[in-house]
């Protein structure tokens, strides 16, 4: 039987995905357009998420060429209307990426603007080159950063800096992003992917279950009831009590 997510991944055109032994490497692949995030890329990243969700592992996310992602496709955005906004097209994808079970590391060079910046905010860790620039210029185009920046960026850099970016059009260069805590490391141009792999090497040395639970708790998505139930499900007491119940019922 063909694995549907793996099969569909073979036909990707705007992104590429490679499954190594202990990680995924996902690359935005529209370098001629500065990896602008269009509808096709959104759909293909959903396919990639399905692949990762079916076989979880840490993820390295980067962009092909000099830039991570220069934003969303403005030509498509210009034609979107109320229905598309209410559908949360980009936000739903970035929320899905943020919810991936194991840590995600964005390796960022050049521009990470608009939707490109919001995609990095959805990752757990960011590593940047000295050329990296983060920003959300959406209000200058008559819209707002509606794909997660308004709630993720304040959590990452604080409300004051987030307002400078989202309201005053400030961009954060690599050095500023490091000072603000937005990125974990700044490395020379061309070394961001290797640095991200080193970070994932450290991640994969830890317990996958411990990482998964830690991420869910830090993100506020880990329900105490689920974790407590998971502990109880593994106990002999639970097994014995349910066995006794079933045996009693079968004798009636």
Domain ranges of the chain: 15-205, 208-251
Name the pLDDT band for 4 (thresholds 50, 70, 90): very low
pLDDT in tens, 28-81: 999 999 999 999 999 999 999 999 999 999 999 999 999 999 987 788 888 888
Given the residues 66, 76, 118, 247, the one annotated as active site: 118
Name the least confident of 3-7, 76-80, 247-251: 3-7
Percent of the chain whose pLDDT exceeds 90: 77
How confident is the model at residue 158, as a pLDDT? 98
Distance CA 208, CA 34 (A): 34
- 142 pLDDT exceeds 70? yes
Determine contact, residues 120/108, Cβ cutoff 8 Å.
yes
Given the residues 138, 191, 225, 234, the one annotated as active site: 138
How confident is the model at residue 7, as a pLDDT? 58
**Catalytic-residue membership of 247:** no
pLDDT in tens, 77-99: 888 888 888 888 899 999 999 99
Stretch 204-209: mean pLDDT, rounded? 94
Stretch 150-170: mean pLDDT, rounded? 98
Q: Which residues contact 65 (CB under 8 A, 6 or more apart)?
A: 31, 34, 35, 110
SS3 of 22, please? coil
Q: Which residues contact 80 (CB under 8 A, 6 or more apart)?
A: 89
- 208 pLDDT exceeds 90? yes
Distance CA 23, CA 204 (A): 8
CATH architecture of 15-205: Alpha-Beta Complex (3.90)
Stretch 97-111: mean pLDDT, rounded? 98
Enumerate the H helices of the chain as residue ranges: 4-9, 39-54, 74-79, 82-87, 89-98, 115-121, 149-157, 159-166, 174-180, 192-204, 208-218, 224-233, 236-250
**What average pLDDT is seen over the chain?**
92
pLDDT in tens, 166-191: 999 999 999 999 999 999 999 999 99
**Residue 1 carries which DSSP code?**
-
How confident is the model at residue 2, as a pLDDT? 39
How confident is the model at residue 1, as a pLDDT? 35
How confident is the model at residue 86, as a pLDDT? 86
Q: Supply the pTM of this predicted model.
A: 0.88
Determine contact, residues 28/15, Cβ cutoff 8 Å.
yes
From residue 252, give the alpha-carbon distance in Å to each of 162, 241, 243, 248, 249.
65, 17, 15, 7, 5
Edge-to-edge strand ranges of the sheet holding 133-135: 111-113, 133-135, 172-173
Determine contact, residues 182/134, Cβ cutoff 8 Å.
yes
**Catalytic-residue membership of 118:** yes
Distance CA 45, CA 31 (A): 16
Name the pLDDT band for 102 (thresholds 50, 70, 90): very high
């Amino acid at each position: 039987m063909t694995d549907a997510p793996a099969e569909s991944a073979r036909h990707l055109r705007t992104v590429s995905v490679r499954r190594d032994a202990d990680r995924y490497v996902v690359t935005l692949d529209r370098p001629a357009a500065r990896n602008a995030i269009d509808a096709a890329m959104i759909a293909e990243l959903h396919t990639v998420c399905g692949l990762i969700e079916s076989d979880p592992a840490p993820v390295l996310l980067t962009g092909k060429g000099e830039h991570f992602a220069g934003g969303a496709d403005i030509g498509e955005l210009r034609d979107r209307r109320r229905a598309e906004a209410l559908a949360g097209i980009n936000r739903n994808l970035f929320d899905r990426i943020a919810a991936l079970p194991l840590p995600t590391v964005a390796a960022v060079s050049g521009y990470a603007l608009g939707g490109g910046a919001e995609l990095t905010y959805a990752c757990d860790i960011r590593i940047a080159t000295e050329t990296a620039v983060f920003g959300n210029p959406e209000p200058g185009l008559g819209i707002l950063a509606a794909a997660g920046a308004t709630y993720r960026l304040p959590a990452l850099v604080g409300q004051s800096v987030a307002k400078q970016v989202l309201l005053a059009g400030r961009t954060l260069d690599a050095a500023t992003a490091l000072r603000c805590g937005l990125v974990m490391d700044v490395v020379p141009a061309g070394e961001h992917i290797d640095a991200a792999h080193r970070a994932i090497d450290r991640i994969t040395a830890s317990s996958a279950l411990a990482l998964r639970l830690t991420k869910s708790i830090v993100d506020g998505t880990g329900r105490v009831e689920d974790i407590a139930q998971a502990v109880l499900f593994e106990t002999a007491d639970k097994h014995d009590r349910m066995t006794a119940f079933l045996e009693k019922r079968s004798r009636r």
